[in-house]
Homo-oligomer: A and B are copies of this chain.
Amino acid sequence: MLTIGKLGEAARVKVPTIRYYEQIGLLPEAERSAGNQRLYGRKAMERLAFIRHARDLGFTLEAIRDLLSLSDIPDQSCAAADAIARAQLAEVESRLARLTALKAELERMVVQCAGGKIADCRVIEVLGDHSLCATDHRHPETELAQ
C-alpha cells in the first residue's frame, strides 16, 4: 500500500490533485491507515494512471469520468468510448486549425514591424484593426481551454 505522496510520485500527479480527484468522485474514497492517512493499492494506481494519461491527451474530467464508467463494463460495446475519443480528436483538430491561423497572423505582425516607435508599430496597428489581418481567425463560438 502506498501513501498519497508515493502514489503521486509513481503516477506523476501532485498530491493535492489526487485529493481533488477523490473529492469530485473521480477516484473512490481511499482506505485509511490507523492514523487516518490515505492508502492506495494497485487498482487505485491504475485508475490514476488512466486519468493522468487521458488528461495528457486533453480529455476533460467529464469525458474521463464517462470513459472510466465505460471501462467498468467489459462486456458492453465500446462504441461510446470510441465516440468520446473521436470527439476529442475533432476538438483537437479544430484547435489546431485555429492555432495555425493565429500563428500565421502573429508571424505576419512580427515580421512586418520595422521596429521603430510605437506610433509606427505594426503590431499595435494590426491589433487595433482586424481588417489588416490576412485570415479570419476570430473566435467562431465557444472554444474552451487546454
Residue positions of A touching B, CB distance < 8 A: 46, 49-50, 53-58, 67, 70-71, 73-79, 81-82, 84-86, 88-89, 92-93, 95-96, 99-100, 102-103, 105-107, 109-110, 113, 115-121, 123-124, 127-130, 137-139, 145-146
Contacts and interface: CB of A to CB of B under 8 A. Distances in A.
Nearest to A77: B117
Interface of A is mostly: helix
B123 A107 contact: no
Contact of A99 (B92, B115, B116, B118): B92
Contact of A96 (B77, B93, B99, B110): B99
Integer count of this chain's copies in the complex: 2
Nearest to A85: B123
B124 A78 contact: yes
Given A56-B138, A86-B110, A49 B128 contact: yes
